[in-house]
């Protein structure tokens, strides 16, 4: 039996399939201490391809055990025209070491035409061994950095002539999207956003417009930068010690760079998160972005964990 015959290749999932996949992701997260898939994949699952961003060329691969129980899941996004696709996968803890991950890898490779990118979250030995077994080597690191919000925060006011204010839903989406895409024009993940992508996130339970800070030019009201914060672990009634803040997105328009706007926005967002009673904050930064890493280190962040992107460099053994 070929891999194509052993796995289901679906587009958007029906409610029962979605429930099964989310339960599998939760089980893997509990077992490993890190989610096996990114927010990007979760948004695709919950809202569909168009709302989350990307193209209709998205595959959801489901592998089942002999009794029909969902044993493994893989997501393949063919948005990037340069690569053969971007993939992430998860195997239920009760179904590991049974060949499910290899089955999914073969199914993914059947559906790609170029050098597929494979993301692994955290440096888990099993994920690393799977990548190497199929001839993939590390191509990129995405650092997770953290700092305590209980430690002293530097006093960095907005640059002269610039005011910080909260995002206004229904008003600021287009201006923010334009600035974001200019700030991250060469970034593989954060650049090229559509209005649908920000509107999808506005529907998420974690979205908080008050914690989405915009930097405006006092002269003409032009948007110059932003710090979009996020809170993991619930809101409102959740205990503060169970919640983790995130520097979700931080960007400065190229025309405003060099004025100290980035550090000022960062600190403003950290103060907002601390005001919610949070004690820890995290962020993601590309491991090759040494300039940004130095800025974050000066603000008290240190490396906590690493996500790894693998690329194929040899034929599978």
Among 134, 162, 183, identify where a domain stops. Answer: 134
pLDDT of residue 83: 62
| Of residues 82 and 48, more confidently modeled | 48
Is 314 part of any domain?
no
Q: Counting runs of H as helices and runs of E as strands, what totals does the chain give?
A: 10, 12
Q: Could you tell me if 235 and 152 lie in one domain?
A: yes
DSSP code for 78:
-
Q: Could you tell me if 202 and 108 lie in one domain?
A: no
Which residue reads 């997260």 in tokens? 29
Is 158 part of any domain?
yes
What gap in Å lies between CA 251 and CA 175, rounded to an integer?
13
Q: Could you tell me if 109 and 67 lie in one domain?
A: yes
Q: Could you tell me if 150 and 240 lie in one domain?
A: yes
Yes or no: say if 253 and 182 are a contact pair by the CB < 8 Å rule: yes
What gap in Å lies between CA 226 and CA 229, rounded to an integer?
10
How many independent structural domains does the chain possess? 2
Q: Could you tell me if 192 and 130 lie in one domain?
A: no
Closest CA to 112 of 48, 61, 49: 61
Q: If you average pLDDT over each of 46-55, 179-188, 264-273, 290-299, which comes out highest?
A: 264-273
* Region 149-159 average pLDDT: 95
Yes or no: say if 214 and 172 are a contact pair by the CB < 8 Å rule: yes
Q: Output the pTM of the full model.
A: 0.84
Q: Is the pLDDT assigned to residue 206 strictly greater than 70? A: yes
Q: Is the pLDDT assigned to residue 314 strictly greater than 80? A: no
In terms of residue numbers, what domain contains 177?
Answer: 146-307
Q: Could you tell me if 224 and 105 lie in one domain?
A: no
Among 82, 112, 134, identify where a domain stops. Answer: 134
**Residue 87 belongs to a domain with what CATH number?**
3.40.630.30
Is 316 part of any domain?
no
What gap in Å lies between CA 43 and CA 66, rounded to an integer?
29
Q: Could you tell me if 111 and 199 lie in one domain?
A: no
Q: Where are the alpha helices (DSSP H) in the chain?
A: 3-6, 15-32, 39-47, 49-52, 100-110, 125-133, 173-183, 195-202, 261-275, 290-298
Half-sphere exposure of 82 (CA within 13 A, CB side): 3
* Region 149-162 average pLDDT: 95
Is 312 part of any domain?
no
Yes or no: say if 261 and 268 are a contact pair by the CB < 8 Å rule: no
Is 141 part of any domain?
no
Residue 258, C-beta contacts closer than 8 angstroms, at least 6 positions apart: none
The pair of three-digit structure tokens given for residue 144, joined into one six-digit string: 């997770």
Q: Could you tell me if 237 and 181 lie in one domain?
A: yes
Q: Could you tell me if 165 and 301 lie in one domain?
A: yes
Q: Report pLDDT digits (tens) over 245-270.
A: 999 999 999 999 999 999 999 999 99
Q: Report pLDDT digits (tens) over 157-200.
A: 999 999 999 999 999 999 999 999 999 987 767 778 999 999 99
Q: Could you tell me if 125 and 186 lie in one domain?
A: no
Q: Could you tell me if 124 and 248 lie in one domain?
A: no
The pair of three-digit structure tokens given for residue 49, joined into one six-digit string: 């391809």
Is 72 part of any domain?
yes
What mean pLDDT value characterizes the chain?
Answer: 89
* Secondary structure percentages of the chain, helix, strand, coil, to 5: 35, 30, 35
Q: Could you tell me if 231 and 276 lie in one domain?
A: yes
Is 116 part of any domain?
yes
pLDDT of residue 239: 55
Closest CA to 228 of 254, 255, 210: 210
Q: How confident is the model at residue 51 (pLDDT cuts 50, 70, 90)?
A: low
3-state secondary structure at position 196? helix
Among 134, 168, 200, identify where a domain stops. Answer: 134
Is 230 part of any domain?
yes
């Amino acid at each position: 039996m070929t891999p194509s015959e052993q796995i289901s290749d679906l587009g958007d999932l029906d409610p029962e399939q979605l429930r099964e996949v989310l339960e599998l992701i939760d089980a893997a997260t509990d077992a490993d201490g890190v989610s096996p898939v990114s927010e990007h994949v979760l948004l695709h699952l919950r809202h569909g391809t168009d709302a989350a961003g990307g193209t209709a060329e998205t595959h959801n691969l489901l592998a089942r055990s002999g009794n029909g129980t969902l044993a493994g899941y893989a997501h393949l996004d063919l948005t990037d025209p340069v690569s053969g696709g971007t993939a992430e996968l998860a195997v239920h803890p009760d179904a590991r070491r049974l060949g499910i991950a290899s089955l999914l890898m073969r199914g993914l490779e059947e559906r790609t035409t170029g050098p597929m990118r494979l993301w692994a979250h955290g440096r888990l030995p099993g994920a690393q061994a799977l990548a190497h077994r199929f001839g993939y080597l590390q191509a990129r690191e995405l650092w997770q950095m953290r700092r305590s919000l209980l430690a002293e925060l530097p006093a960095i006011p907005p640059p002269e002539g610039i005011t910080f204010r909260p995002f206004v839903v229904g008003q600021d989406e287009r201006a923010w999207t334009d600035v974001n895409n200019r700030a991250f024009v060469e970034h593989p993940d954060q650049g090229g956003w559509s209005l649908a992508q920000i509107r999808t996130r506005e529907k998420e339970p974690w979205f908080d417009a008050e914690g989405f800070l915009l930097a405006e030019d006092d002269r003409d009201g032009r948007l110059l930068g932003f710090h979009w914060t996020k809170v993991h672990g619930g809101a409102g009634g959740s205990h503060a010690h169970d919640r983790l803040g995130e520097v979700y997105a931080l960007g400065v328009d190229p025309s405003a760079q060099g004025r100290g706007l980035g550090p000022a926005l960062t600190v403003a967002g950290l103060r907002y998160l601390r005001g919610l009673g949070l004690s820890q904050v995290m962020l993601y930064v590309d491991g090759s972005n040494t300039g940004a890493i130095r800025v974050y280190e000066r603000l008290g962040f240190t490396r906590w964990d690493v996500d790894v992107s693998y690329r194929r460099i040899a034929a599978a053994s």
